């Protein structure tokens, strides 16, 4: 009997795939990459035509030994990692490490969704490893390594230890710094608006008409101008000059690609990019569904293509006809065009099986809240994308008052169409609630109830939030679907950018490093240069450009720039922020430092005094064991918890959120217990039995 081995990246993916294969198949997980460039050195031989030096990743030795034994015992080995550049590179490294090329029994298989049909079809149609995809990944990896490992030591030497620069992170930081410069340079301009509240004199209720001008749109710049207009309007009659009624159609948006999914999840769910991609990865790899076992719920989530398979289109149309009626089904499938630069290897992001509705999933699956919310978003967007447009009756009225013109509009939904399933924007929901204008006719004199002038000032450009930043990266051609979320995570982790009320703002350190990069490494932080580099990587992937030629072309000018920067940049002194926290070991005022995991407090007496500790977060409560401050901390998997500042000596920690309130029974800190039902407030002192219900409020999603 044959013995087959399939290797995927993760245990969850392995579990889902295993149920679709027979007893002859064993499915193992590589846990991502098994080989990479070494962390301790450059790992690229620049003098030998940029030859990379790959090593087994630290801690993966035992796993690799296990995979070697399994591969040796197997008659065939199927490499089923993701079908993008990174996945292709993982398969290539596996084939090399397991000697599959030499033994001639390694087979590359890919699928866009983890379903029985897709997996079995992939096994029937194996292919060779796509070396162009691998080379594109190698080119990106080596480029990023060379830039990072050459510039970062310069930053350590000239600015501060622990800093880093990157090929893409540096231009991303520049975009945020440039936006901050625009905001600071912005000079507000005054303007006024005027609304007239009118009625037809017959029916109850009023409607609003907005001041337009005389013949063309007029901007009122001061109170004096507005006062003059108001004076003229005191004796004016408001007469209907034109009245138009028509029909307007609103068409559904296409199904999601990576960038639009991240943007919409941010706007509608409050998810940051990493949170979105984590949940999407889990949905793709599979969750447990009652009666079906482990099921992959969505197609591959790193894509910029709007293509949908014919099978998926047919399934969606059948579902719409059965559940929403033939009047909601267009005569032909809606087809959406991808942008020219899109890679067509994957479909758009859609449900693997449209008949698995969000409601069904909630009732029958072991699914986390983030997974459910994101699946619902993806499912609704996909179904709506194949429905007919929404139809509105719209009215517009021009109302003449002396020499001035006012404009009013009204609308009413005639047919909901796709919007019965999915409304893309908040405005769409508001449109559904709008009313038509009251009955009136051309030449009719309206009753003026009041005039309401209002002063305004032009606003500076807004800071980016993650959604608008990712949209900007996409529009500028910086990064690709697989890199958008890591770009944001990297610049936050480096301390170059922080979140301020969910918006991205540069830190003082970020601006300082950006200024230096702009002066001495203009190409690295140039948007067009970076976008062109992305295009060249796409050419490598398409097989039209040799990967090392990209490196050769880049490295010569880069090496010259690096040498010039080494000699010209003077040592930059950054003064540490002094705090009022006293070092308990030597009595000095502690200062704020920035490390790999963010800011922390350190004694300025280093190295004679090596005392350091996390920065206490105000209002996190006090430890019930020792009375010291509770700090917000995170696990290695980025899950938030609260721990005593005296840990590990004290040892107290809790997943529940401390409150700024003492227990009325024992005086210890109260905790919000958000897990389980009903949610409640309890005492942090385990020997105290005080508790009370937590009043129901709409819990905001954390944007971690």
CA 512 to chain centre: 26
Rounded to whole angstroms, how far apart are CA atoms 629 and 634?
Answer: 16
Residue pair 155/165 in contact by the 8 Å Cβ criterion: yes
| Tokens encoding 604 | 């300025």
DSSP 86-111: HHHHHHHHHHHHTTHHHHT-EEE---
Please list the alpha-helical segments (H only) found in 235-272. 258-269
**Of 370, 171, 172, 361, whose CA–CA distance to 265 is shortest?**
370
Q: State whether residue 358 is helix, strand or coil.
A: helix
Rounded to whole angstroms, how far apart are CA atoms 478 and 176?
Answer: 14
DSSP 496-537: SEEEETTEEEE-HHHHHHHHHHHHH-TTTT-HHHHHHHHHHH
Phi then psi for 309, rounded to 5 degrees? -65, 155
Q: Bin 384: left if φ > 0, else alpha if -120 < ψ < 50, else beta.
A: alpha
Q: Per DSSP, what are the bridge partners of residue 238? A: 401, 446
Helix, strand, coil percentages in the chain from 3-state DSSP, rounded to 5 = 35, 25, 40
CB half-sphere exposure, 658, CA atoms < 13 A: 27
**Of 184, 7, 1, 188, whose CA–CA distance to 80 is shortest?**
7
Kindly report whether the peptide bond that precedes residue 549 is cis, defined as omega within 30 degrees of 0.
no
**Candidate list 25, 284, 300, 520, residue with the active-site label:** 300
Residue pair 554/564 in contact by the 8 Å Cβ criterion: no
Rounded to whole angstroms, how far apart are CA atoms 288 and 106?
Answer: 30
Residue pair 167/578 in contact by the 8 Å Cβ criterion: no
For 541-565, give the secondary structure using H, E and C.
Answer: HCCCCCHHHHHHHHHHHHHHHHHHH
Rounded to whole angstroms, how far apart are CA atoms 349 and 585?
Answer: 56
Task: Please say if 300 is a catalytic residue.
Answer: yes
Rounded to whole angstroms, how far apart are CA atoms 686 and 665?
Answer: 12
Residues written for the chain = 704
Q: State whether residue 172 is helix, strand or coil.
A: helix
Rounded to whole angstroms, how far apart are CA atoms 17 and 115?
Answer: 8
DSSP 282: H
Q: State whether residue 37 is helix, strand or coil.
A: coil
Residue pair 479/487 in contact by the 8 Å Cβ criterion: yes
Q: Per DSSP, what are the bridge partners of residue 366? A: 288
Residue 560 exposed, middle or buried by CB count within 10 Å (0-12, 13-18, 19+): exposed
Residue pair 1/20 in contact by the 8 Å Cβ criterion: no
Instruction: Tell me the CA distances in angstroms from 12 to 9, 285, 342, 466, one per residue in order.
Output: 9, 6, 29, 28
Q: Which residues are catalytic?
A: 300
């Amino acid at each position: 009997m044959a013995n087959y081995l399939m290797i995927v990246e993760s245990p969850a993916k392995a579990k889902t795939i295993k149920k679709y294969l027979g007893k002859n198949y064993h499915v193992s997980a590589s846990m991502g990459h098994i080989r990479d460039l070494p962390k301790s050195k450059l790992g690229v031989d620049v003098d030998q035509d940029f030859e990379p030096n790959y090593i087994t990743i630290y801690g993966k030795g035992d796993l690799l030994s296990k995979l070697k034994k399994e591969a040796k015992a197997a008659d065939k080995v199927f490499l089923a990692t993701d079908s993008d550049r990174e996945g292709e590179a993982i398969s290539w490294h596996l084939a090399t490490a397991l000697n599959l090329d030499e033994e001639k029994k390694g087979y590359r298989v890919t699928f866009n969704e983890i379903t029985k049909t897709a997996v079995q079809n992939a096994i029937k149609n194996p292919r060779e490893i796509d070396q162009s995809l691998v080379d594109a990944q190698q080119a990106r990896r080596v480029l990023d390594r060379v830039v990072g490992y050459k510039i970062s030591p310069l930053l350590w030497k000239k600015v501060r230890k622990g800093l880093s620069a990157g090929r893409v992170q540096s231009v991303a930081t520049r975009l945020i710094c440039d936006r901050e410069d625009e905001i600071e340079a912005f000079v507000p301009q005054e303007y006024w608006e005027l609304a007239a509240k009118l009625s037809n004199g017959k029916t109850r209720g009023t409607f609003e008409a907005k001041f337009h001008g005389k013949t063309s749109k007029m901007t009122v710049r001061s109170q004096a101008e507005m006062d003059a207009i108001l004076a003229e309007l005191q004796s004016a009659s408001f007469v209907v000059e034109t009245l138009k009624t028509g029909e307007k159609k609103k068409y559904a948006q296409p199904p999601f690609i990576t960038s639009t999914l991240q943007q919409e999840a941010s706007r509608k769910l409050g998810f940051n990019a990493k949170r979105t991609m984590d949940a999407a990865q889990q949905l793709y790899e599979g969750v447990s569904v009652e009666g079906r076992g482990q099921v992959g719920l969505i197609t591959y989530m790193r894509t910029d293509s709007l293509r949908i398979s014919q099978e998926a289109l047919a399934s969606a149309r059948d579902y719409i006809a059965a559940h929403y009626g033939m009047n909601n089904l267009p005569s032909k499938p809606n087809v959406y065009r991808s942008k020219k630069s899109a890679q067509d290897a994957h479909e758009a992001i859609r449900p693997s099986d449209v008949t698995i509705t969000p409601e069904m999933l909630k009732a029958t699956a072991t699914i986390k809240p983030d997974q459910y919310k994101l699946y619902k978003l993806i499912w609704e967007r996909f179904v709506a994308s194949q429905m007919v447009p929404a139809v509105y009756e719209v009215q517009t009225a021009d109302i003449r008052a002396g020499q001035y013109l006012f404009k009013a509009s009204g609308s009413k939904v005639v047919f909901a169409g796709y919007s019965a399933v999915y409304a893309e924007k908040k405005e769409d929901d508001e449109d559904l609630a709008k009313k038509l204008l009251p009955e009136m006719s051309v030449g009719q004199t309206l009753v003026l109830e009041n005039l309401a002038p209002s002063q305004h000032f032009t606003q500076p450009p807004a800071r980016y939030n993650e959604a608008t930043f990712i949209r900007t990266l996409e529009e500028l051609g910086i990064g690709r679907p697989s890199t958008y979320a890591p770009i944001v995570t990297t610049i936050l982790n480096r301390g170059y950018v922080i979140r301020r009320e969910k918006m991205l703002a540069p830190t003082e350190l970020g601006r300082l490093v950006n200024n230096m990069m702009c002066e001495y490494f203009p190409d690295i932080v140039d948007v067009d240069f970076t976008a062109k580099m992305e295009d060249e990587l796409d050419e490598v992937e398409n097989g039209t450009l040799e990967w090392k030629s990209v490196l050769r072309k880049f490295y010569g000018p880069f090496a010259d720039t690096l040498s010039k920067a080494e000699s010209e940049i003077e040592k930059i002194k950054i003064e540490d922020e002094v705090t009022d926290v006293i070092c308990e070991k030597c009595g000095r005022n502690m200062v704020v430092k920035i490390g790999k995991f963010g800011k922390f407090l350190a004694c300025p007496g280093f190295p004679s005094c090596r005392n350091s500790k996390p920065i206490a977060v105000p209002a996190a409560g006090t430890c019930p064991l020792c009375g010291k401050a509770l700090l917000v901390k995170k696990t290695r998997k980025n899950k938030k918890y609260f721990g005593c500042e005296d840990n590990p000596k004290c040892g107290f920690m809790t997943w529940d959120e401390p409150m700024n309130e003492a227990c009325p029974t024992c005086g210890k800190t109260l905790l919000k217990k958000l897990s389980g039902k009903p949610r409640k407030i309890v005492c942090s002192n385990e020997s105290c039995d005080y508790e009370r219900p937590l009043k129901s409020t709409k819990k905001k999603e954390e944007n971690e």
